Structures are given as structure tokens and as C-alpha cells.
A and B are shown apart, each in its own frame.
Chain A
Amino acid sequence: MTLSRSQFDEACKDFVEKYHPAAADGLSASKGLTGWLWLEHPSRPQFGYMQRQIPLARHVDHTARAMSSPLDVAEEPSLDSVDNETVTTFSPPSASLVCNQFVVHSPTFQVPTFYFTVHDASGAPLSLPEILQTTLFRPFALHGTEVSAFSASRPSSNFPLLSHGEHPTLGTPCWYFHPCETATAVAEILREVGGDDTGPRRGWIETWFLVLGSVVDLRL
């Protein structure tokens, strides 16, 4: 079940309008569906995407580390010396992070794809292990994935779950969830609720966010 470029554009614009903060209710905000803008490339058609920026925080207790397997141990302090009773902080609690989120169209898989960047207050990008310890992800959502400096993979999957790549319109480096993982789930849900190819495409984006929301904490 796919979205062509023009279907994607139309669905996103409808979605942004429907969930505009002025029009949306508190329920939508709590589901993380508000705050998105539709942006276009200044001179090229068919490169439009959705974008929003949200604040993030780092987890401050070391149980958050259970989310990732410590393959990239060079940067992480040893766990051996940590007393289970105490709280381990990796950064001052007041340090705030900025997360830029994008919904772009994948021309290969013809579905939406979630791209994001995370920077600290000084503007430096976080490493992947650091990102996994922020509030961006649902707790334990990435449990069981193998984490390297440039990707997070599930051993049984064809593609890495989370990879590093270029934003297709901006060309800047981002992290992204591989699109084929979510597309199948969305298709199943839409079939369950009786969605079909002729139905309003806006339902596609909402359902897609629902699936994404099981891994990414989209709430503002």
C-alpha cells in the first residue's frame, strides 16, 4: 500500500491543516499530531516535506541504558562501578536538546519516512548512543537492537531499523527509520479498519503516525 508523490503531498497538506494548533483539540496535541509545517524546496517542485521542532531531554537514570546494547562502548562510562541505588547523570538536568523532525516521501518505497536530528544547546549533533538515551524514544522501544556509531539494527531484519542518511530535499545528514518497516504495519491497520485506495489519504498519515508513535514519543 503506497503513496505516490502527489498523493503524499496532498495528504500532508490536509494533515497539517487539520492539526494546526489553532484548530486542533487537546487530544491531538497529546497524540503528538500538532506543530507540523509543510515546506517546499525553493525552486524544485515535488520535493515538499513536513517539519517541526520539539525539545527533548536526556534520561537521567541509568535504567535508560537497557534500551540499547552497548556495542559502542568507547564513549560510555563503565557500568561496573555504578551503584544501583544512585542516579547516574550524563549531563546537567537543565541541558535541553533540540529535535528537528521531518516527514519526507521515499521515492523508492513510495511511503512517508521519518527523519530527525538531535542537537544539544551548543548546536552539536548527538551521537546515536546519546540519542537513544533521550526522551525521543518510547522506553525499551529499541530493546534488542544492535547499535553502532551509524545505525541500529535488529538481527533478523533486511534493513537497519535506524540509519544515517541525507535528507532528500535539504541534503543535510539525518537519522531515519527505514520506511519498509512501518509501511507494512500501516497497510495492515488500514485494511483492518476498512481503508482502501480510494479513501482519503489523510487517514494514511494519521495511521502512519500511530504506528511510528509506538517507537517514537511524538508528544510535545
Chain B
Amino acid sequence: MSTYGTTRHHAPSAFSTPASTTLFRRLTWEGTVPLEIRVDPKELPANSDRGLECYYIQAPRVSYLPLLMPEIRRFLMDVVFDEAANKILKEEDWWFESEEGTLLKWHWPIGLIYDNHTISSSIRPSSQASTSQYSVQVNPLKLILHLASPPTEKLLLSPTAEACKQAFMGQLKEADFIRWGSTKRMTGLRKAEQDGIWEGIKEHNFDDYWRVASKVVPTTAPARTNSPPPPPSSASMHSRPPSADPQGAPDRDGAYSVRSVPVRLYLPDGPVMQDLVPPTLDDGLPHTLAHYLSTHLPLLFPQPPSSDPNLAYALIQGVLAPPESEMAWLGACMAGADGWVNVCVGIAR
């Protein structure tokens, strides 16, 4: 696949987008995770149809739990609830928890909820024989849906689509600010365009989303072809490394010109870590994932790598990211729809 001069334009864009960038963006966009949603049996109405209260959905990683609620509600109406019960259901009182009793954050992208659950499980005692490698088996995330009395002490209130949209737009603007020190790229969008980004999420439409997002999210310039080869565990990804093109000037508005890449770091427990992530280091070399991890988690990711087996692993969009991945490239190609690269670190067994 050539990245030189044959950029495919999905839509008019401020940046010419290499085909490899579009490929990884599309793969990220189309990533899904399996959810198994079960209503808390104690909350089923007296005359509902028991035994059928489990709903399976292959949910987009870039979507949000409140956006799934209408679909879940339709299922519950058809199968579980009668008319009377349905009338009193209020979606803004719904809340989700995992099997282990963890409250799920509705303002997190579903992919992040899933990966965070994966890494949290990595420190829980397991009854299964443990292996030293991260297992690529993809199990459904089992959720319990509660229909009332959300724990307002611990959970952000009001999981409406409107609140979700505002939180999402806030994250996009923060990402914009991190990259450029101002939010003028986001605020320079017309209102219709800003609404259009969210519509792209709601309708899960790649073209609608990127039609606007490409004006704001930096791309990798055609000359930079340092995207890593796809990791072996991502069997579902079509692997075609881009061809090398050593010529061409770096794009001034491109991924390597940002002042910092929007990145957050999640451990199995504890608060979320966020720090400045410059695209290049003081010595001029690109800031790699290996450097980022060894700087922030030196005990889990010692540098130089010790001869011992890996103590931990890093997931980005559910994929074991290679240590030589460049942070700027990740920011352009594998960020979530809200603009953030979420690095989830689990403990290797």
C-alpha cells in the first residue's frame, strides 16, 4: 500500500490523510466489545417474564452506555416488561455495575470500561490456572443493570444523552487544548459541525465523525511512516504495513508538532494518571510508548528491559501495543473518539 500521493479523502480535510492513518482510524472506530447485560433480578417487576432478562450486545468501543439505553429499553419492553412497568422506567435512574460490584462510569467510552475491567481482573485472584502471557481470549463483560436508586455518592448523576454529549465535547476540547495550548480548533467549528461529531458517535458513522474530526485531530504526515507493525495478537486486524517514504517535510499541524499528546494512564486500581507527553524527547528522538511507560511506571516497565519476564502489559484500544509505538502516532491513529489515548496497564500473571 503506498502512502505517497494517493491519500484517500473520505471528506474534505484540513490535513491530507495517509491511507495507513485512515486504516488504523477505521479499525479503532470499528472495534467492538461483547457485553452481557442482565437486570438485577431483585428489580424485575412482579409480572415480568423471568429467564429472559439477559441482553447481549456487541458494543462499539467508541460509544457510551447512555447511548445503548434506548436499545436495551426496547429489548426489555419486548421481552421482560409489560406496559405498566415500562411507563415508570426512567433511564436517568439506570446504573450499571460489573459482576464484581464495580460501578461503571457512564461518561467513559465503552472500550475503556472494557479494558479497565480487563486490567482490574489482572490483580484479582483467579481460580483458573494462570499463564505468564496476557490472554487474548475475549470474554463478554457481564453487567448488572439497575433501574432505580443510583448511588449518587459515588456515581456522576444524570446519565442522559445530553449530559453524555456535554462530557464528550468537554473531553474533545481538553484534548485540543493539550495538543495546541488553545481550543480554537474546536471552537472554530460551526455549531452544526460540533453537533455533527456527536451525531457521528450516536449513529456510529465513521464518515460523519471524521468529516469534522479531521479538521481538529492531527494526522501523521505522509513522510512519517513509523507506525509499528500490527501486533500478533490482533488477529482481526488486516495487517499491511505502510511503505517507507523518506522524503517530504514534516506537516506543521501534524501529529509531531503538537506540544503534548492527550494520553491517560490507567492502573488496575487508583486514580487516573495524566501528564504532559511531548511528541519528541529532548534528544530529538520520538517519544515511544516504552519511554512513556518506563518514565511513569519504572518498576513495572524497567528501562533497559530486564531479563525477567514482563511484569506488566499495556493495552490501547484492547490491543497489546508494541513498546516502540510512538506516542504522537498513537495520538493520531489510535485515540478514542473523544481524542484521548487511553493506556490501560495490567499485571502479567
Contacts and interface: CB of A to CB of B under 8 A. Distances in A.
Interface of A: 41, 43-44, 47, 107-109, 124-125, 148-151, 158-160, 163-166, 168-173, 180
A185 B213 CA distance: 31
B42 interface: no
Interface string B159-190: 01011001000100110011000010011000
Contacts of A160: 166, 170
Interface stretch (B230-238, B269-277, B282-290): B269-277
Given A43-B270, A47-B271, 16 more contacts: A41-B270, A44-B270, A108-B178, A148-B162, A149-B160, A149-B163, A150-B158, A150-B163, A158-B173, A158-B183, A158-B186, A160-B170, A163-B166, A164-B163, A165-B156, A166-B105
A125 B270 contact: no
Given A125-B153, A150-B158, A168 B177 contact: no
A124 B157 CA distance: 13
B68 interface: no
Nearest to B187: A158
A170 B153 CA distance: 12
Contacts of A165: 156
Given A108-B274, A148-B162, A173-B152, A159 B170 contact: yes
A218 B157 CA distance: 26
Nearest to A171: B271
Interface of B: 105, 152-158, 160, 162-163, 166, 170, 173-174, 177-178, 183, 186-187, 270-272, 274-275
A171 B267 CA distance: 14
Contact of B271 (A125, A163, A169): A169
Given A47-B271, A107-B275, A173 B155 contact: yes
B163 A44 contact: no
A108 B172 CA distance: 12
A165 to B, nearest CB: 7
A161 to B, nearest CB: 12
- If over half of A's interface residues share one DSSP class (helix, strand or loop), that class is named, otherwise mixed; here it is loop
A108 B271 contact: no
Q: Which 10 A-B pairs have the closest CB atoms?
A: A107-B274, A150-B163, A108-B174, A150-B158, A173-B156, A149-B158, A158-B187, A125-B152, A169-B271, A47-B271
Nearest to B269: A43
B274 A164 contact: no
Contacts of B170: 159-160, 163
A165 B163 CA distance: 11
A148 to B, nearest CB: 7
A168 B271 contact: yes
A4 to B, nearest CB: 9
A44 B271 contact: yes
A123 to B, nearest CB: 8
A165 B156 CA distance: 7
A109 B271 contact: no
Contact of A151 (B152, B166, B270): B166
A173 B154 contact: yes
A70 B154 CA distance: 27
Contacts of B173: 158-159
Nearest to A47: B271
B246 to A, nearest CB: 35
A150 B170 CA distance: 13
A47 to B, nearest CB: 6
Nearest to A178: B170
11 contacts: A41-B270, A44-B271, A108-B174, A148-B163, A149-B163, A150-B166, A160-B166, A165-B156, A168-B271, A172-B153, A173-B156
A108 B177 contact: yes
A164 B275 contact: no
A105 to B, nearest CB: 10
A149 B166 CA distance: 12
Contact of B158 (A124, A164, A166, A168): A164
Nearest to B267: A44
Given A149-B158, A150-B158, A158-B187, A168 B272 contact: yes
A172 B157 contact: no
A157 B197 CA distance: 19
A160 B272 CA distance: 23
A82 B300 CA distance: 64
Contacts of A170: 271
A173 B183 CA distance: 25
A150 B157 contact: yes
A149 B187 CA distance: 24
Contacts of A47: 271
Contacts of B178: 108
A173 B157 contact: yes
B156 A166 contact: yes
A163 B272 CA distance: 19
